[in-house]
Amino acid sequence: MSVGLQRLRDEPDAIRKGAIDKGEDPALVDAALAADTRRRELQGEADGLRAERNATSKSIGESIKAGARPDGPEVAALRSRSTEIGKRLGDIERELTAAEAQVEDLLLRIPNPAEPDVPVGGEEANVTVHTWGEQLPRSQPAEGEVGADASARGATWERRPHWELAEALDIIDLRRGAKIAGSGFPVYKGAGAALQRALITWFLDVHTRENGFTEIWPPIVINSASARGTGQIPDKEDQMYVVTRDDLYLVPTAEVPVTNLHRDEILEPGTLPIHYVAYTPCFRREAGAAGKDTRGILRVHQFDKVEMVLFERPEVSGAALDWMTGRAEDLLQRLGLAYRVLLMSTREMGFVQSRKYDLEVWAPGVERWLEVSSCSNFRDYQARRMAIRYRVEKGGKAELVHTLNGSGLALARTVAALLETYQLADGSILVPEVLRPYLGTDRIGPPAG
């Protein structure tokens, strides 16, 4: 169950197209359909046999009650007949179980089709919806609006990448992180550590106090059922760290534990929408990305993220996605970081999303756009996997909810962009207005040496 058998039967062409657009195998649709037909046949047979057996067993009980001897010939005849049925039933049931597993397996491998207006294609097809802020150049006049500093007046200076700044300021220690855990596990130190804490706290404060979210502080390990629910299994299994001994995974994002909060639940009328926000560290193996973005903290195995998770009624999930994306944008605007919003194409958006916006922030030191947020609507796809339903009215029929989530925001890259944007000519960092109450200073540095 993922795309939904009903929809698969009703509009197989649309599902096939959805698979093709996402670069997945459309033949899975036909395989699933065929497996489902077989499954239904078997279930019909099994149900018939069970009905027969149930009736026979019942008549044994009734005969005995009516006075027949339990070891008499009448009962013995019924008994052997029931045994006979049971044997056939056993065979059918084995086949049925296999067929059910097959259907489920195939369904799990069929992607959620993108919404009709999502551009078809790969990276080149992504659409920039809009941009905000000034895309600062790497070379900065000394009297630039952000980096005005007396000592550098009259000259131009080059913005430095965040890893140089961080090392000079001694606020991020990548080498020692590699020593104690491995490469890609940064150590934040002093003002660097405080900056992490400030960002996390500020994000959570805005979401809970201004945006109406309920804060969740979830476990940062998940079991396989939870990983399956949100689609990490089987789609992204090799990106997760596994605790084999206890059959647990380290969370790749708070989305997994938080969305699973309502797994196998029917939400009563009046409970939707549910808006959760959660901070967790996030662990990703980044398998297949070796050698990519090796410098600095652009691609790391552990980073911090504040995540928004929404449960919505189907008819408003589209608007909810826009709203949620706006909440993430608001944070970037108040941090004063230039960014752009991308509507991701079919092959870029992922397996379980129906629509996804990425927020990319401009990092002038490395002169790149960095993804710091990804806001997605999953419609009923995750909800079906997790059996999250709701009732419109008391006693009404249970319907699947729509789930959405988005980063608000992911830290490592935000920190990189922030350091590079707010660096001054002397290597110190101006602290954005909104973070000053949290950091207790308006400036990090300058470096001692």
Partner RNA sequence: GGAGAGGUGCCGGAGCGGUUGAACGGUCCUGUCUUGAAAACAGGUGACUCGCAAGAGUCCGUGGGUUCGAAUCCCACCCUCUCCGCCA
- What are the residues binding RNA (CB under 7 A)? 5, 40, 43-44, 46-48, 50-51, 53-58, 60-62, 64, 70, 79, 82-83, 86, 266, 389, 394-395, 397-398
**Of 52 and 167, which CB lies nearer to RNA in the complex structure?**
52
Choice among 16, 379, 389, 413 that is catalytic: 413
Tell me which residue of 387, 389, 386 sits closest to 399, measured CA to CA: 389
| 374: annotated active-site residue | yes
| 123: annotated active-site residue | no
Which distant-in-sequence residues (6+ apart) come within 8 Å of 79 by Cβ?
A: 60
| 197: annotated active-site residue | no
| 295: annotated active-site residue | no
User: Which sign does the torsion angle of CA 63, 64, 68, 70 carry?
Assistant: positive
Could you tell me if residue 286 is left (phi over 0), alpha (psi between -120 and 50 degrees) or otherwise beta? Answer: left
Find the shortest distance in angstroms from Cβ 20 to RNA: 25
Parallel, antiparallel, or unpaired: how do β-strands 368-379 and 429-430 relate?
Answer: unpaired
Choice among 371, 391, 399, 436 that is catalytic: 371
Rg of the chain over all Cα atoms, to the nearest angstrom: 28
**Of 216 and 398, which CB lies nearer to RNA in the complex structure?**
398
**Of 388 and 411, which CB lies nearer to RNA in the complex structure?**
388
Find the shortest distance in angstroms from Cβ 50 to RNA: 4
Find the shortest distance in angstroms from Cβ 33 to RNA: 12
**Residue found under tokens 């996390």:** 200
Find the shortest distance in angstroms from Cβ 328 to RNA: 33
| 139: annotated active-site residue | no
68 vs 254: CA distance, rounded Å:
64
Give the sheet arrangement for strand 265-267, strand by strand.
265-267, 388-391, 398-400
**Of 334 and 391, which CB lies nearer to RNA in the complex structure?**
391
24 vs 5: CA distance, rounded Å:
18
Bond from prior residue into 273 cis (ω within 30 degrees of 0): yes
Choice among 16, 53, 284, 327 that is catalytic: 284
Choice among 374, 376, 407, 428 that is catalytic: 374
Residues facing 439 on adjacent strands: none
Choice among 50, 299, 340, 443 that is catalytic: 299
**Of 96 and 298, which CB lies nearer to RNA in the complex structure?**
96
Which sequence positions are flagged as catalytic?
284, 299, 371, 374, 413
